[in-house]
Structure 1
Amino acid sequence: MSEPWTIERICGSLGDPKLTQRFLSEINKAPAHRILTVFAKWARIAKNLEAAFDEDVVAAARRGEAPCDDLVDGTERLEQAAAQRNRSHGAA
């Protein structure tokens, strides 16, 4: 059985400072009657992100190791696609 979901575990599982900041902002600004709903939403997101990655790859990354030699960095391609989408939608 895995560890229970906590704010700290959700933050660690999101893996991106911007996502973590968004989660913390939402949980901190939520009115009392919505806190559990917001928490459940982000716990589900974090759970899905954890499930999306191979455990060996995640473990290697946490140790600061390269998980394998044949990974392709798609960052530039994704940034270019996002920029193109923004231009086609009239964003600056």
Structure 2
Amino acid sequence: MSPESKKIIDFHFGVYRRQGAKKYRKKQYRRLLNILNDIFNHEPSAHGELKRIGRKQIIGYWQRTINETDQTRLEKWRVLDRLFQAIKKPSPPRPRRKNI
């Protein structure tokens, strides 16, 4: 992840991490950083920049993490949605539910 991207995330999530259920929000923040690092490592078209992450990269991430529970994937989608709202991008695609 580029230093500029980290600064943008820290700026938008600073208040988010300090208020409310702090443990959960810090966990969500760490999840977001892990998601973005995974995307930057596996999606060469992103080039380490937040503005270059779109539907294709998010769908690729959901396909790579298909073994996670539906609840975990929903929580990850929520933090991604918050990031996309902060950087004024359309909402990311939701993960598909597993067939039982």
TM-score, L = length of structure 2: 0.28
Higher normalized contact order (CA 8 Å, seq sep 6+, divided by chain length): 2
TM-score, L = length of structure 1: 0.29
Larger radius of gyration: 1
